[in-house]
Structure 1
Amino acid sequence: MLRGLLALRGPRAAFLGPGAPWRGRKSRADPPAKSKAGRLKTPPPVDPAELLVVAERYLRHRRVLRALRAEFKEEMLQRQYEERFGELGQQRKDAATQEHRQLMAWNDAENRRLQEKRQERLQKEAAAEKERRLRGAEYQATLLEEFVKEKEREVLQLQEEAKSFITPENLDERIEECLNHPRNYNFAIDKEGRVARQSALP
């Protein structure tokens, strides 16, 4: 197992985890190189005169920014006070009140216009619904009338067919008629429905 781990080189060693060394780099636990064993990290040299000038310039810059910030803040606070409590603030408040009144008047007019339009639409819908119901009632009445007529025709047809029915009153008469006029129902028909051949009566 150890031999297999030692055989891993290059990018394949990256799969072993974050502690595995990369190619060309060493881990944190490795000692420093022999050529850099005695090296001491020292900051770059700074000229004292130049450092003093730079510090003075930074201090002056911060003072200027602080003064500008204070002046802008004072101007902003003064403007806010005038807008809130001064004449300009009163003018703006009056303008806002006037604009609010105009908008409310426009809103009321728009609401009235929409209400009238809605009432007109509802009246049209009511008239259309009434007309639709009237047409439906007429259609139903027409269907009922046709249904009654159809039933009347069926009743008349049944009454007409009932004239040839066999009843106890005409039973003897029908038997006599059948004996006097025999019929042969033993026949064959072709594709057109005509009688092709027929057997003779006994």
Structure 2
Amino acid sequence: MFQVIGGRSVRAARLLAPRTAVLVETTRGRKSRGDPKAKSKEGRIKTPPPVDPQEMVVLRERFSEYQLIVKALRLEFKEEMLREKYDEETGSLAEEKMRQEAKEHRVLMAWNEEENRRLLKLRMQRLQKEHLEAERKEAEAALQREQEQEEFIKEKEREILQLQEDVKNFITLENIDQRIEEALDNPKNYNFAIDKEGRVVTQTILK
């Protein structure tokens, strides 16, 4: 049992009160259920207001008519809704809807095929460009390998020629006596120094 204060229960007042505010219960002078009846109203007998029979008959007839009209409108709206639903599912509207969907499907399929052809054409062009680019790079790589091979062969030929020139100065069993005589006839002294610029420092410079 909740105590009624100002037409609202204490619990409701507590629930509706803000959390940060202080709950203050206010009263407007109304009595609770347990309070006795006022002395001025002890002998009073409550009687309903008088009703005019003719007015009551008219009101009942009008209310019945209102109920019939509302019921008829509801039935008509329901019938119209069911008819539209039936037509959409099995009637002419369903056929028209199927035709529209079939037409839309054909349009979409045509667009899809056209888009596929366009993308295929772009893909073929891209693949052709990639193939030509790959061939060009392969040709450039082959040309570069050929040039490197030629340079390598030329370098080896130069090394062979240089080696052939150097062979002339090699000491062999045939020319060993001659080379010994040349060395004895032309002695060389390697006991010398050089400066920072790489010049040979002679004794005259040292003096």
TM-score (norm 1): 0.61
Root-mean-square deviation (CA), in Å?
A: 3.0
Q: After TM superposition, give the deviation of residue 158 of structure 1 in Å.
A: 1.1
1:89 pairs, out of 86, 90, 94, with: 94
Aligned to 1:108: 113
Indicate whether 1:169 and 2:174 are aligned: yes
CA contact (8 A) 1:187 1:195 kept: yes
Aligned to 1:159: 164
Q: Using the alignment, how far apart are the partners of 1:107 and 1:165 within structure 2?
A: 84
Aligned to 1:8: none
Q: Where has structure 1 moved over 4 Å in runs of 4 or more?
A: 41-44, 67-75
Identity %: 53
Q: Using the alignment, how far apart are the partners of 1:114 and 1:150 within structure 2?
A: 53
The one of the two structures with greater contact order (alpha-carbon pairs below 8 A, sep at least 6) is 2
Q: 1:43-82, aligned counterparts within 5 Å? A: 75-82=80-87
Aligned to 1:53: none
In the alignment of these two chains, the number of paired residues is 141
Aligned to 1:182: 187
Q: Using the alignment, how far apart are the partners of 1:153 and 1:181 within structure 2?
A: 31
Shift in CA distance, 188/96, structure 1 to aligned 2, threshold 3 Å: same
> Higher Cα Rg: structure 1 or 2?
2
Q: Which runs of 5 or more residues in structure 1 are unaligned?
A: 1-40, 50-62
CA offsets 1:144-188 (integer angstroms, 9 cap, x no match): 000100111011111111111111111110110011111001011
1:164 aligned partner, one-letter code: N
Q: Which runs of 5 or more residues in structure 2 are unaligned?
A: 1-31, 36-47, 49-66
Choose 190-199 or 79-88, whichever is displaced more.
190-199
